[in-house]
Amino acid sequence: MYLHYLRNAGRQLKRSPFTAEMNIVSLALGFTCFFAAIAVNAYWSLSDSVLDGSKSIYVLTQEYGEGSQRTGFRPRVTAPIARYLQSDFPTLAAVARVGNKRRWTVTWGSQKLHLTGARADAALVDVFDFDVVAGNLETALAGPDNVVMTSRAAKRLFGDRNPIGLNILVGEDFSPVVRAVVALPDGPTHFGPDEEASGYFDFLYAWPDESGQPEWWLSIGPVTYVRFDPTVSSMTPEILRSELDAFMARHLPPDQANMAVTQLDLIPLSQLPTRTLDLALFESRADSLSITWILNLLGVMVLAVAGLNYANLATAQAALGIKQMGMRKVLGATRLQVFQQYWVESLAQSVVAAVLAVCALLLLAPAVQRETGIDLLLGLSERLTHWPLFLVIVVVVATLSCLLPAVRMMQIEPIQALRHGAVAPFSRFVASGLVVFQFAVTCTLVTLLIVVQLQNNHVQSSALGSDPRSLLILTDDDSRALGYKSIAEALREERRVEGATSMDFLPWSNHENFLRVSREETGVDGVQQVFLNQVGYRYFSTFGTQLLAGRTFSEERGDTETSSLSDAAAIGDPVEIVVDLTLIRLLGFDTAEDALGADLYLSREFRQTLDMNPVMTIVGVVETRPLVLSASGTRANLYLLNDAPYFYPVVKLADGGSPAAVRAVSEAVQSRRPNAMVRYELFDEAFGRGFAPVDRFTKAVRLLSVLAIAIAVLGLVGMAIFKTHRRRHEIGVRKTMGASSYQVAVLILRDFSIPVVAGCLLSLPFAYWATQAYLSGFIDAIDVSVLPWLIAVVGCVLLSWLAAGGQAYSAARQLPSDVLRSE
Amino acid sequence: MIELDSISKTYMTEETETRALRDVSLGIATGEFVAVMGPSGCGKSTLMNILGMIDRPTAGQYRFEDNDVSRFTEKELVEFRKKSLGFVFQNFNLIDEMSVEENIALPLLYRGIARKQRKSRVREALELVGLVGRGRHRPTQLSGGQQQRVAVARAVIADPKLILADEPTGNLDSANGAEVMNLLTLLNQDGATILMVTHSTEEAALAGRVIAMKDGRVQTDRQAPASTES
Ligand SMILES: Nc1ncnc2c1ncn2[C@@H]1O[C@H](COP(=O)(O)OP(=O)(O)OP(=O)(O)O)[C@@H](O)[C@H]1O
Ligand SMILES: [Mg+2]
């Protein structure tokens, strides 16, 4: 019997190959999206699973702030926590930190490389069972002058030579000896192999002894790993988590506890990559919003659109097959058998679609891996081991898709079905309802797509300014040690360079140097949180930041740099500062001019903890132009003239920048430091790096939305074919009665547009909600009007005309005699 | 075999109500060949549909071999139809996407008969209607008469007790019509009970009994003298 149904499904395919293929293609697209979402999530969840005992390794997270100014739980905690944790909970198997990560210039003989190095506790080897290639890992992290290298880095630096015992130079004055080489496991881990991975390192060296040093708890610290050992102690992650509040209360110094609210938590190691991504995308809302479920939601939405498509076309097809169904019923088909027939057909198409989807993913996987580093195959094969689950999904989709026509056909009386055209199998309302629903979803996605795009353009244009490729940020140790003034000096004769300045952090990186300031001398009321930017001369002109009132820092005027706020406070002179418009507004000044000459003070807690009380006088007000993408609710900026070694020199190239100009800068640095390996980022590249997670997320949303739209349009084409086919007779009669082709085409298109327009109108609240949810994550969100939605509506209607247009055209042009004769 | 007792059928449409059958009472014995005649709209098809259990009467009792059909549930009706009835329609109602063989085998399929047996019985049926060698054709590749013979084969394949034919020759020319009529008489001689709607007195003459209807009532019901001869 099932064979018969299957053969029947095959016949259906032969009879109307176009619609059946369309069904399969749209379902396949839906499954592709859905499976891709599953595979991506699976891939992320697999992170670090290749490491031994990864299930019992956890990472501490910490959050600062409260209310709207929260950082979200970040997987980096303040440095002293590890030590106290180990002493408070001796039953933990191991606690270890990795931190102070940065790129170093590493020299061995004549070989010079940029390598990523980080400090690590000796106990790290108790947390992770690294695969030791050479040397002794147990002792390697114990001594201050030792390093552990990854086999990949060792190979690059030493070639095939045995690295153990070799002496290398790290930066300027650190010359440790290689004591061990470890091979990082293949497969996704947070250690790599991608350099963008959150835990990537080329070499590790010991953490210095910090006992007796002052403890600063309110700063971003190292990644802190905790390993549990269920075989030796009853300590579990749950128990530890419940103890964390008390732990914090015990150890956080009271003066620092006054300054900020902070909390600890714990996540499994496998969640580290998604947590990192969530924080980059959603910041403090990462606790409630996760890329994982957004991806799943989008996948399900696309699949739903595809399923609706199927239901729609199957319903239309059922209308054509109604007589046949009636005959089958007369011949003895039971209701169950009628249902089975539809179900098997739907199931067969779904299975084919699912198989096609898997094939598509196999084909797409290499490209996806190249673009995003995500190995879909790995994720998919992981999930395919749960293949019964996939089967269930396919069966559910097939069942839901065929439910409507199948149930209706079950109910139809044979006599009604046989009497030609006596019953419409469905009220027009049902078929239209499906289209309405489908276009409500589609229109929401299109609106979101437009807003996401607008916001991206806005972020890019406001962040990058007019000429991003003329800004060169020098990032290597030599250039940074040299400082921007020396570099400017060396470039004095160079006409391809306009000038140089410096800043204290890499633009678009996770820099968070906050101050809390107030207009009140007491520092109690009206306290605002600001970014502290320490900048060189010509900073504002270099970045093209507009001056709104007063002046900026000027060498000619003899503005002197304070080496730090505390030095200035010690001398007792007021410190001259430039602030941005956002801070002026927050502090309650009416205009930029009003703020000039006003004094600002540190908040009382900051004053106590930093043990200083500088007076800061506003000398200039500039437009708001943060060089960070996300800042946990902080938007205002305060600029201080300061230059210290290892700040980042920024060079402005003339005429929009050129490779020759970049080379000239390199050579200028090397003229002062012959061994320097100059490394730089153009401003837009730096932005690209910081913006990458948002960008990838946007791309995913775009791809999925475009697919959903394509599926919906495909469905409309199918509907158009059916409906016009069914109306051929009517059209023939109308034309005999004198209707023009134009009138017929308009009639058909109007009928099509009504449910599409209804669906689009219905999408307004959903579109509003979705765009607001998306935009609330940006420091500088655009104001959206109803315009993007209107554009989406018009776009959807035009698309539907495009889909139905061909059919309307051919139906309108048909000769009435052709139809009437064949009827 | 069949007993209709005061069967009425009323169609309610928006404003008017059509009384398609009014108090029809009649009995049909096993082995009879009955022709139903009458002007268009007099209720012939309605009667056939009620006899075929694909429509329900508004009032009256319908007994089939001592079962009160009018009280059957939907499920019992399906079962009963499968066991006892075969249908031939004016417009054939073959399924175009299936081959001739498959069309004929369809009733057996719904009766859960094994594949092997299905094959042999389809062959027999094809022989009976004289279409051996056409089994793999599509209905659309056959002439009207041939299509109707396929429909007849489909109607008889499951050995129904009663064959209902609603204007089986209505869409056929006289030569093809004669072929189908031959077939029906043959089946009747083999013992099948047949009820046929027709507009042709010649065809009606082939039946053993002619029922004439008018305005939803049986007007005359008489045994044809020719029945014993042919
Ligand atoms: N579904 C229905 N709804 C309303 N009225 C109906 C319906 N089916 C049949 N009728 C009416 O019932 C009456 C009998 O119809 P029926 O089809 O039985 O006639 P018939 O004798 O078979 O005619 P013909 O020789 O033209 O086939 C007609 O007046 C018809 O209009
Ligand atoms: Mg009739």
- Long-range CB contacts (within 8 A, 24+) of A357-361: A357/A28, A357/A29, A357/A30, A357/A31, A357/A32, A357/A34, A357/A35, A358/A35, A360/A28, A360/A32, A361/A32, A361/A35, A361/A36, A361/A39
- For residue B97, give the nearest of A15, A331, A334 by CB distance: A15
pLDDT score recorded for residue A217: 75
Say whether A332 and B49 touch across the interface (CB within 8 A): no
- Do A528 and A539 form a contact (C-beta atoms < 8 A)? no
Q: Enumerate the residues of chain A whose CB falls inside 8 A of the CB of residue B87.
A: 330-331
- The predicted-structure confidence for B19-73, as pLDDT tens digits, reads as follows 999 999 999 999 999 999 999 989 998 999 889 887 888 999 999 988 888 888 8
Question: Which single residue is written with the structure tokens 């003034």?
Answer: A485
Binding site membership of B84 for ligand 1 (Cβ less than 6 Å): no
State yes or no: pLDDT of A67 exceeds 70: no
Q: Does B113 touch chain A (CB under 8 A)?
A: no
Nearest to B78 among A8, A327, A332 (CB): A332
For residue A518, how far is its CA from the centre of ligand 2 (angstroms)?
A: 95
Question: Rounded mean pLDDT of chain B?
Answer: 87
SS3 state of residue A779: coil
B32 CA to chain A: closest CA distance, Å?
Answer: 22
ipTM: 0.74
C-alpha B44 – ligand 2 centre gap (Å): 6
Please write the tens of the pLDDT for every residue from B117-146.
Answer: 999 999 999 998 889 889 999 888 888 889
The mean pLDDT of A717-744, rounded to a whole number, is 71
- The residue in chain B having the minimum alpha-carbon distance to the alpha carbon of residue A411 is B74
Ligand 1 midpoint to CA B50 (Å): 12
Supply A190's token pair: 């947070």
Residue A612, pLDDT > 70, answer yes
Which ligand approaches the C-alpha of residue B47 most closely? 1
Confidence at residue A14, expressed as pLDDT on a 0 to 100 scale: 66
How far, in Å, CA of A157 to CA of A509, rounded? 28
Pocket flag, ligand 1, residue B27 (CB < 6 Å): no
Q: Which residues of chain B does A335 touch, with a Cβ-Cβ cutoff of 8 Å? A: 74
Contacts 24+ apart (CB under 8 A), A613-617: A613/A569, A614/A565, A614/A566, A614/A568, A614/A569, A614/A574, A614/A575, A615/A574, A615/A575, A616/A517, A616/A574, A616/A575, A616/A576, A616/A577, A617/A574, A617/A575, A617/A576, A617/A577
A406-433 burial string, b = 16+ CB within 10 Å, else e? bebbbebebbebbeeeeeebbeeebbbb
- B91 contacts in chain A (CB < 8 Å): 420
Q: Does A1 touch chain B (CB under 8 A)?
A: yes
Task: Note the pLDDT of residue A13.
Answer: 63
Give the three-class secondary structure for A179: strand
- Write the CA distances from A451 to A296, A635, A783, integer angstroms: 21, 22, 10
What pLDDT is attached to residue A823?
39
Cα dihedral A785, A788, A790, A791 in deg (nearest 10) = 150
Rounded to 5 degrees, what are φ and ψ at A120?
Answer: -145, 145
Q: Which tens digits make up the pLDDT trace of A661-693?
A: 889 999 999 898 887 888 898 888 888 887 777
Residue A459 is given by DSSP the state: H
Q: Does A386 touch chain B (CB under 8 A)?
A: no
Separation of CA A325 and ligand 2 centre (Å): 20
Return the H-helix or E-strand segment holding B210: strand B209-214
Q: Do B98 and A11 touch (CB under 8 A)?
A: yes
Q: What is the mean pLDDT of residues B2-16?
A: 88
Q: What would the pLDDT profile of A754-811 be if each residue is shown by its tens digit?
A: 888 999 999 999 889 888 877 776 666 788 888 899 999 999 888 888 878 877 777 7
For residue A536, is pLDDT > 80?
yes
pLDDT, tens only, B70-113 = 888 877 887 888 888 888 888 888 877 788 998 898 888 878 88
Shortest distance, CA B96 to any CA of chain A (angstroms): 9
User: Which residue lies with its CA nearest to atom 29 of ligand 1?
Assistant: B41
pLDDT at A649 over 90: yes
Q: Chain A neighbours among B 41-70 (CB < 8 Å)?
A: 49, 52, 54-55
> Which ligand is nearest to the Cα of residue B50, counting in written order?
1
Q: Three-state DSSP class for A255?
A: helix
Q: What is the structure's pLDDT at A630?
A: 63
- State the DSSP H helix or E strand holding residue A319, giving kind and residue range, or none if neither: helix A291-320
Residue B14 CA to ligand 2 center (angstroms) comes to: 22
Share of residues in chain A with pLDDT > 90 (%): 13
Question: Is residue B73 lining ligand 1, measured as CB closer than 6 Å?
Answer: no
pLDDT at A15 over 80: no
Out of A307-316, A724-733, A763-772, give the one with best mean pLDDT. A763-772
